């Protein structure tokens, strides 16, 4: 989901102490304890495609971790294919499904497996003369066509060709073959060369309305493809994230960013007991203690919704010892943290809908409970 952001011009003081970097803004001081290599921050512009940006960034970090080097994956190749799949689902369900710009982290993995991966230089999704993405008109065109089709008693397969043409007009035709770093690829052969195996990645969540340690279909509107999520305890979900980052793995994060304690311009996501205090983003204060019951209540009352996806890339602590996650966003290099933000432990526990992670990053005892070992 796209929001408009401004830069808070305050002091940024990076320095190193043994193996830890400290970033200080006002009275907040974040000491980075573990970080994962990331590619440069991007902007999703005027689109609701955070899911593709977050998960593409996650996969780019995975490639670095795997020794494959730094690559810039095309977000819009993934988006294009998901629009087509979502349109088919919408028609088959006779309009009783979600057709919007949003999706979830498992959808780029679906595209990687079924359609392949394309580098940004081979497919940007921008036409000549365009510098920023804007999918508003395109999505309106597609939705209007689909809704008109649903009024007919019989459908021919030609509507799929029409959908392709709309995507071509707004995003450009997708490449069937391209040259990259001196070699020729198709999207599928390029994906194979990268060594990404979608089956190695799982989505982890923690809710009490489903059995523990079993997969289930999470009930959020953007889960149009009925993706599976593995249910663990709240403490175990946190342990998975901590273990992943400390072992060199990052995660694609899905959650709620509608709280007053979330500020991209200040580069922070906190869950204060008093969200009206004037120094909210100036100095640390007391935060809500989160347990499974209040987390579940927030989800079922819509206080926590599936708003936005980002990329968890590090663990830090403030001067009081409170744990934070360093998170890479897709709204450009805003805030003093240049497009990153610090998410407090309390915010993470309350507002995380799910995380996507490599199975190898899950602690052994939890992996055994989930049937991965």
In a domain, 5, yes or no: no
Domain extent at residue 99: 45-196
Kindly state the helix (H) or strand (E) to which residue 32 belongs, with its residue range: strand 28-35
Q: Do 162 and 273 reside in the same domain of the chain?
A: no
- pLDDT of the residue at 9: 34
| 223's tokens | 């889960």
pLDDT tens-digit readout, 15-32 = 333 345 777 667 889 999
**Cβ atoms of 20 and 27 closer than 8 Å:** no
- pLDDT of the residue at 20: 55
Confidence band (pLDDT; 50, 70, 90) for 12?
Answer: very low
Q: Do 36 and 118 reside in the same domain of the chain?
A: no
Q: Do 18 and 106 reside in the same domain of the chain?
A: no
pLDDT tens-digit readout, 206-228 = 999 999 999 999 999 999 999 99
Q: Do 52 and 28 reside in the same domain of the chain?
A: no
Distance CA 74, CA 61 (A): 14
| CA dist 213 → 190, 230, 299, 308, 322 (Å) | 34, 6, 19, 25, 29
Phi, psi of 125 (to 5 degrees): 75, 10
- pLDDT of the residue at 24: 63
Q: Is 217 in a helix, a strand, or coil?
A: strand
Which positions ≥6 away from 218 have C-beta within 8 Å? 203, 205, 207, 227, 229, 353, 354
Confidence band (pLDDT; 50, 70, 90) for 367?
Answer: very high
Q: Do 143 and 277 reside in the same domain of the chain?
A: no
In a domain, 297, yes or no: yes
Pick from 196, 215, 242: which residue ends a domain? Answer: 196
- pLDDT of the residue at 27: 87
With a cut of 90, say whether residue 336 has pLDDT above it: no
Q: Do 205 and 267 reside in the same domain of the chain?
A: yes
Q: Do 68 and 180 reside in the same domain of the chain?
A: yes
With a cut of 90, say whether residue 5 has pLDDT above it: no
Q: Do 18 and 60 reside in the same domain of the chain?
A: no
Largest Cα separation within the chain, whole Å, is 69
pLDDT tens-digit readout, 149-177 = 999 989 999 999 999 999 999 999 999 99
- pLDDT of the residue at 23: 72
**Cβ atoms of 315 and 240 closer than 8 Å:** no
- pLDDT of the residue at 4: 34
Q: Give the number of domains in the chain.
A: 2
Pick from 167, 196, 225: which residue ends a domain? Answer: 196
Q: Do 313 and 352 reside in the same domain of the chain?
A: yes
Rg of the chain in Å (alpha carbons): 21
DSSP conformation letters of 301-350: TTSS---EEEEEEEEEE-TT--EEEEEE-SB-S-TTTTTEEEEEHHHHHH
- pLDDT of the residue at 6: 34
pLDDT tens-digit readout, 178-193 = 999 999 999 999 999 9
Percent over 70 (pLDDT), the chain: 94
**Averaged pLDDT of the chain:** 93
pLDDT, mean of residues 115-127:
98
| CA dist 99 → 17, 252, 288 (Å) | 49, 22, 35
Q: Do 232 and 91 reside in the same domain of the chain?
A: no
pLDDT tens-digit readout, 223-265 = 999 999 999 999 999 999 999 999 999 999 999 999 999 999 9
- pLDDT of the residue at 373: 84
pTM equals 0.92
Instruction: Supply the CATH number for residue 110's domain.
Output: 3.90.70.10
- pLDDT of the residue at 101: 97
In a domain, 76, yes or no: yes
| 373's tokens | 């070992």
In a domain, 3, yes or no: no
pLDDT tens-digit readout, 97-112 = 999 999 999 999 999 9
Q: Do 80 and 205 reside in the same domain of the chain?
A: no
Pick from 139, 173, 196: which residue ends a domain? Answer: 196
Q: Do 146 and 228 reside in the same domain of the chain?
A: no
pLDDT, mean of residues 301-329:
97
């Amino acid at each position: 989901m796209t929001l408009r952001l401004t830069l808070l011009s305050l002091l940024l003081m990076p320095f190193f102490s043994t193996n830890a970097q400290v970033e200080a803004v006002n009275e907040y001081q974040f000491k980075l304890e573990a970080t994962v290599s990331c590619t440069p921050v991007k902007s999703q512009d005027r689109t609701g495609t955070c899911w593709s940006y977050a998960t593409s960034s996650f996969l780019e970090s995975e490639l670095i971790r795997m020794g494959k080097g730094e690559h810039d994956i095309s977000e819009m190749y993934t988006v294009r294919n998901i629009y087509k799949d979502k349109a088919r689902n919408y028609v088959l369900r006779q309009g009783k499904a979600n057709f919007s710009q949003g999706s979830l982290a498992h959808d780029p993995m679906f595209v990687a497996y079924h359609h392949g991966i394309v580098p940004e230089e081979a497919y940007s999704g921008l036409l000549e003369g365009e510098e920023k993405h804007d999918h508003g008109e395109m999505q309106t065109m597609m939705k209007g066509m689909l809704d008109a089709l649903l009024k007919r008693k019989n459908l021919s397969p030609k509507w799929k060709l029409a959908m392709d043409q709309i995507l071509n007009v707004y995003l450009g035709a997708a490449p069937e073959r391209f040259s990259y770093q001196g070699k020729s690829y198709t999207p599928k052969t390029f994906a194979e060369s990268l060594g990404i195996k979608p089956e190695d990645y799982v989505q982890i969540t923690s809710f009490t309305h489903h059995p523990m340690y079993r997969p289930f279909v999470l009930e959020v509107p953007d889960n149009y493809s009925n993706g599976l999520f593995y249910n663990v305890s709240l403490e175990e979900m946190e342990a998975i994230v901590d273990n992943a980052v400390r072992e060199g793995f990052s995660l694609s994060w899905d959650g709620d960013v509608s709280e007053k304690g979330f500020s991209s311009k200040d580069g922070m996501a906190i869950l204060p007991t008093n969200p009206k205090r004037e120094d909210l983003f100036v100095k640390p204060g007391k935060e809500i203690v989160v347990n499974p019951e209040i987390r579940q209540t927030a989800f079922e009352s819509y206080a926590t919704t599936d708003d936005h996806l980002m990329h968890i890339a590090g663990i830090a602590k403030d001067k009081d010892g409170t744990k934070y996650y360093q998170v890479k966003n897709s709204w450009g290099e805003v805030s003093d943290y240049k497009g990153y933000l610090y998410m407090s432990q309390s915010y993470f526990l309350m507002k995380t809908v799910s995380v996507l992670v490599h199975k190898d990053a899950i602690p052994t005892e939890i992996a055994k409970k989930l049937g991965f070992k």
